[in-house]
């Protein structure tokens, strides 16, 4: 699981930069169309949570339950925001899917670390 946390952390940080630029473009598109959607803003929230989750993933790859719980919360919240507020910004569903995968793998890491302690 240490390798997964390092790789997913690096990928999450790299993807967060891409999501920021896409979200800015989606936000500008929403403003110009005056369609009332907030998908650009929610994309920025997802990008911030993705960046935070990536940093936490790298920083806590050698720690126990606390780091895994933080990963579950950060990536779970990012996937929830992404799926619920995507609107016409359909790429946000892809990034929310990545966050969901990371949250599930964080849950698996939490369960495995609990079994090792017993």
- pLDDT, residue 87, reads 77
Q: What is the pTM of this model?
A: 0.88
Q: How many domains does the chain have?
A: 1
**75, 106 Cβ separation under 8 angstroms:** yes
- pLDDT, residue 35, reads 81
* Predicted confidence pLDDT, tens digits, the chain (118 residues): 788 889 999 999 999 999 999 888 888 888 888 887 788 888 899 999 999 999 999 998 887 788 889 999 999 999 999 999 887 788 889 999 999 999 999 899 888 877 765 5
- pLDDT, residue 12, reads 93
Per-residue DSSP letters for 7-26? Answer: HHHHHHHHHHHHHHHHHHHH
Give me the residue label for tokens 């403003």: 31
Domain that holds residue 86: 2-117
Give me the residue label for tokens 């302690």: 117
């Amino acid at each position: 699981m240490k390798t997964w946390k390092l790789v997913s952390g690096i990928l999450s940080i790299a993807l967060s930069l891409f999501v920021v630029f896409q979200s800015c473009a989606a936000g500008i598109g929403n403003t110009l169309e005056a369609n009332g959607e907030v998908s650009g803003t929610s994309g920025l929230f997802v990008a911030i949570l993705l960046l935070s989750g990536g940093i936490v993933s790298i920083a806590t790859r050698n720690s126990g339950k606390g780091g895994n719980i933080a990963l579950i919360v950060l990536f779970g919240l990012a996937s929830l925001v992404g799926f619920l507020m995507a609107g016409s910004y359909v790429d946000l569903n892809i990034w929310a899917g990545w966050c969901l995968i990371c949250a599930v793998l964080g849950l698996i890491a939490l369960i495995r670390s609990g079994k090792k302690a017993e």
